[in-house]
Structure 1
Amino acid sequence: MNPTGRLLRGESGSRLVLTRTFRAPIDDVWASVTESDRTARWFGPWEGDPAPGHTIKVQLAFEEQEPWTDLRIDACEPPRRLACSTTDEHGTWSLELLLSESDGTTLLEFVQHLETEEGIGEVGPGWEYYLDLLVASRDDSQRPDFDDYFPSMTAYYEGLRR
């Protein structure tokens, strides 16, 4: 497995960007990242009112002990943009999913707006894993094994900071 993430720096800070491409209409990919029964297949189910400004509860189904966490919906612009944030012991996670379609192929850009670039060697492999879980959930292929991502991708992601 080869890491795909890029680290982009700008006036508003650093962003970690990972992409996946799907031979599917944008509305179908949007459903995979927003409908609870479909997010349950690759990230975890959620409950609550997913309107902008509201907080939903998401179960991290592929983490140890499958904990539930609060996730604030910061923006929802179907079927092109979902922005959300959460805070945990590691800080605030500000995330965006950006979708675009061309000729029946949908590009998904996953963006994490970083408070700091520290820890990117752990964060990057984790997002690679989750996005590949998304791919597997859509094409009914075998789920990836986290051990194929971490720690083998750590050096690549740490190298992005240079």
Structure 2
Amino acid sequence: MKDVLDELAAVRRTMGRGTLPAGEAYTVELRRRYDAEVDDVWDAITDPDRLRRWLKPVTGDLRPGGTYELEGGEHGEILRCEPPRLLKVSWMFGPEADAWPGTSEVEVRLTPGGDGRTEFELIHAAVVGEPMFPTYGPGAGGVGWDIALVALAEFLSGGVSADHAEFETSLEGHEFSRRSAAAWGDAHLAAGGDPEQVAAAVRATTDFYAPDPAGRA
């Protein structure tokens, strides 16, 4: 458990605002350092065979202007691809999402950090309306990305990444999700969020990712 929580602590989280074609967006931003060369990290996030081993299987026309689909429903268009520094995609979920183009984008930036390390930055911008953001805050997407980045760390270190669904439902995964939700609450507060709304959002996010089996509040 300590190793997983150390990985959680390695991430710097911020919440901000941005602009997408569909309008004003919220952003969740995660920054951390990986002990791997930039070419290795780039390959891990773009090669289909490696991507499926820490995130999900991917199919599609995997080139700029092409489309992709992850097993589980996430899909979109490859907007920019500049090896080994920048990858940007639209990020949609569910068949109905295609009716709202330009509402969600994910951008990953890689920078060589010296000593064989890589500075990793992920920015997920989304146009989020009522009631999603007031209810869950940045943790709605942030917790999921925290789980993904831990899996990437394990993969880059030569380990075998656990299945996301299995990890999320384990006792260790629940504790990780609770702490991740609290960390996103801190980022929300730092961005000027109302303390009562932030506290409620952290509770809602925690209940979503790590529900109490006894049904206690």
Q: Which residue of 2 aligns with 1:78?
A: 83
Q: Equivalent residue of 1:44, what SS?
A: coil
- Give the alignment of 1:13-28 within 5 angstroms: 13-28=25-40
Which structure has the highest strand share of the two? 1
2:40 matched to 1:4?
no
Query: Could you report, residue by residue, the CA deviation over 1:55-80 in whole angstroms, capped at 9, with x for unpaired residues?
Result: 12222xxxxxxx24423111111110
Counterpart among 147, 150, 159 of residue 177 in structure 2: 150
Contact 2:68 2:75 in 1 (8 A): yes
Q: Distance in 2 between matches of 1:121 and 1:70?
A: 21
Check conservation: 1:45, 1:58, Cα contact below 8 A: yes
1:41-56 matched pairs, under 5 angstroms: 41-56=53-68
Distance 1:105 1:154 in 2: 27
Q: Between Structure 1 and Structure 2, how many residues are aligned? A: 155
1:97 corresponds in structure 2 to 108
Letter in 2 for 1:151: R
1:13 shift after superposition:
4.3
Asked if 1 retains the 8 angstrom alpha-carbon contact of 2:18 and 2:125, the reply is no
Amino acid at match of 1:17: E
TM-score normalised over the length of structure 1: 0.81
Q: How does the TM-score come out when normalised to structure 2?
A: 0.62
Q: Cα distance, 1:23 vs. partner?
A: 2.3
The answer to which structure has the higher helix fraction is 2
Cα gap change, 1:113 to 1:38, in 2 (>3 Å): same
Over 3 Å counting, the alpha-carbon distance change for 1:7 and 1:100 in structure 2 is same
Q: What is the deviation of 1:153?
A: 2.5
Give the counterpart letter for 1:133 in structure 2.
Answer: A
Once residues 30 and 15 of structure 2 are traced to their aligned partners in structure 1, the CA distance between those partners, rounded to angstroms, is 9
Q: CA deviation at 1:140?
A: 3.1
1:133 aligns with 2:151: yes
Q: Percent identity?
A: 26
Q: 1:52 is aligned with what amino acid?
A: P
Query: Distance between the aligned counterparts of 1:9 and 1:17, measured in 2?
Result: 10
Measured in 1, the distance between the counterparts of 2:73 and 2:183 equals 30
Distance in 1 between residues matched to 2:18 and 2:182, nearest whole Å: 23
Q: Are the structure 2 counterparts of residues 71 and 9 from structure 1 closer, same or farther at C-alpha, using a change threshold of 3 Å?
A: closer
Structure of larger gyration radius: 2
Q: Is the 8 A contact 1:20 1:131 kept in 2?
A: no
Match of 2:123 in 1: 111
Q: 1:74 to 1:151 in 2, by over 3 A?
A: same
